[in-house]
Structure 1
């Protein structure tokens, strides 16, 4: 009888455990091994097919909005290849008209309603980018929205179109339920189209999001908007993407601003409602990003301090971090600053390094124009070009 009783107790315990939600696998969690060729994260290291994957990156802001011939696309990828680029950053939204009218239309707005353009001048351009990335053995970060300006994929355009005249605050993009719903519709369309592609390196929530800005139409953060509210938006949107696609990495795309009480310096004072420490700890965020420009603070020395702060976060929190944009205006400044910044990033073990930006051949206002602004990099800037090629050789060989 005792044995029968013990067996019945053991049976009830086992069946209870199996029925308990806590004992069941979480269907929302990311499986350990994604399909072949996909990037994945294990701790602070990114892997592709069980091999550590460090990368030199690049971006050409105007490529997905202004390039009109395959020759332009190929020349840009040829430059990427010459630099040793493994990951290119791509903006999946319409760019403003600073460089002239854009032939690309990713969003069609009809009042508050957004429809996605799947044609050749819309997501067809991203199809082309991914096909070219495959040919060149590269991967792409797909950026889903922009913090700045009034182009079709910017925060202010969502706010203005969805809320209308009442949308007087930039930060409503991050808190208004109707705006968030429309943005998630766009996310769902893009993710559904490309979630099976190993050429997608990561989904990126937004370019340089922050609450308080002075934009071209003057919207700022709504009074009471906080860094914690921004962290919630990042957590909710990254969780939403993971629910659609558990395989690909998710990055934030921010400038890496901190929220350190009592610190009055730009990047650390929290005035734009960003908190790099808190945001990197979000479970559904895989990668931390930061952007680095010499005019933010006294040039080279400030940049070295900022790099080291983000390296410390990477090591402390245990997630990959990469410098997603960095720039100095003018060839002389780049020559003086880039070698030291790059060496510090390499020594710190960042997952990737990505300068702003590779000059586009045949993309700008005239065919003879070599550069859009002084930040552009191209082979004739010999010291800078050589520095970045050497950087790529080190990163791409790193195990």
Structure 2
């Protein structure tokens, strides 16, 4: 999801790391990982040799909380709902000019650019708290390293700081200086937590695409260029060289590059479908085959992706398109013989959620893969009296965690019960 988050570039001395941007040989995941680490067995996740099926939660805002009591409260609610895996951001950076305001507001940030590296990693103790508290409540954590979107930074800060103005978004995936800087930050995170069984997996990027919301794609990132495939391979091999035990995934939306992409009629014109024609840059079928990509991820937001088709009286429906999208990824996962996670999904409106989610969740359950709705909401947060502006429009409002329209809370019983029911089914399937 295009949540608001910031990532930036470390200082110029990191550019010397370019020559070390890629390991000489491809490492493979350790086949005998320590106790408590999640593994895969074909299309199944396993924990200590037993099946590990789950309903998870997305919460990008959890490391932004200031108080330990609110973090514990949130994990307690997740535990009671049957959540077994949390996905959150392992990034948040600010420009050096933003530093005074961040210090005044208590904003969590991990990098401040262009300060030296050692001075930049300021609030990792808050991420430490999230990861350690997750373990106390029996919850594993998926950590994403950066964001495709500009909110809270994202990859375009790397582009702007290192490559400079007037560069396309996709140089993030190809410029050796940017890759070295990204890898330096990734190394800091991975080495900090690589021995922790509380980590479920490392995620290379949230929703990588050829373009972003602020910069266009360049001519080197087009259907068939394999720009993202090459980057996924390079970065997954790099992470594996640092950590032989934890799972690695892309964090992608699951776009396809089919020889005969889907088409649809709109405004008397036959349109090639962006989700299937490779224009986004992903090639889900082939990305999933990379040796150090241990499982697939995909996201599901047809209401916003096809807003021109979603109108009263249309014979196109959000529900049916979502079911087909789930089936498409099941087929790809079966072919690759790897697990897949419906890692994000959302629709706006309580009525839509309560009628559409049961169908999507049941299809995911029937096809034996994990479910992580976007996004988990918590009530009764107490910091700053329950009202705090975090950044942008993100705020704790009367004790409620940030609400982007897809957020669901425990008092929305019709929606909440969908996921608690699914969690019970998944937990029964687990060892």
Query: TM-score, normalization: structure 2?
Result: 0.80
Distance 1:365 1:29 in 2: 42
1:32 aligns with 2:51: no
Partner in structure 2 of residue 109 of structure 1: 113
Partner in structure 1 of residue 155 of structure 2: 155
Distance 1:147 1:89 in 2: 16
Structure with bigger gyration radius: 1
* C-alpha distance after superposition, 1:266-307 (max 9, x if no partner): 321211111100100001100100001131244111000000
Are the counterparts in 2 of residues 62 and 95 from structure 1 also a CA contact under 8 Å? no
1:393 aligns with 2:429: no
Distance 1:171 1:102 in 2: 33
Instruction: Give the unaligned 5+ runs of structure 1.
Output: 1-25
Report how far residue 117 of structure 1 moved: 4.1
Instruction: Give the unaligned 5+ runs of structure 2.
Output: 1-24, 99-103, 262-271, 307-316, 382-387, 389-393
Distance 2:73 2:209 in 1: 34
Partner in structure 2 of residue 198 of structure 1: 197
1:360 aligns with 2:378: yes
1:348 aligns with 2:367: yes
Q: 2:245 aligns with which of 231, 244, 247?
A: 247
Q: 1:377 to 1:252 in 2, by over 3 A?
A: same
Partner in structure 1 of residue 309 of structure 2: none
Are the counterparts in 2 of residues 174 and 233 from structure 1 also a CA contact under 8 Å? yes
Q: 1:308 to 1:126 in 2, by over 3 A?
A: same
Q: 1:231 aligns with which of 229, 232, 239?
A: 229
Which is worse superposed, 264-273 or 284-293? 264-273
User: Please, what is the CA RMSD of the aligned residues?
Assistant: 2.1
Partner in structure 2 of residue 133 of structure 1: 134
Partner in structure 1 of residue 165 of structure 2: 165
Distance 1:360 1:102 in 2: 20
Are the counterparts in 2 of residues 90 and 143 from structure 1 also a CA contact under 8 Å? yes
Partner in structure 2 of residue 220 of structure 1: 216
* Structure 1 residue matching 2:252: 3-state secondary structure: coil
Q: 1:95 to 1:31 in 2, by over 3 A?
A: closer
* C-alpha distance after superposition, 1:200-250 (max 9, x if no partner): 00000010011123x1xx311111323511100000000000000010000
Report how far residue 37 of structure 1 moved: 0.5
Distance 1:60 1:151 in 2: 14
Report how far residue 68 of structure 1 moved: 1.2
Q: 1:313 to 1:102 in 2, by over 3 A?
A: farther
Are the counterparts in 1 of residues 220 and 227 from structure 2 also a CA contact under 8 Å? no
1:55 aligns with 2:86: no
Aligned length, in residue pairs: 362
Partner in structure 2 of residue 374 of structure 1: 405
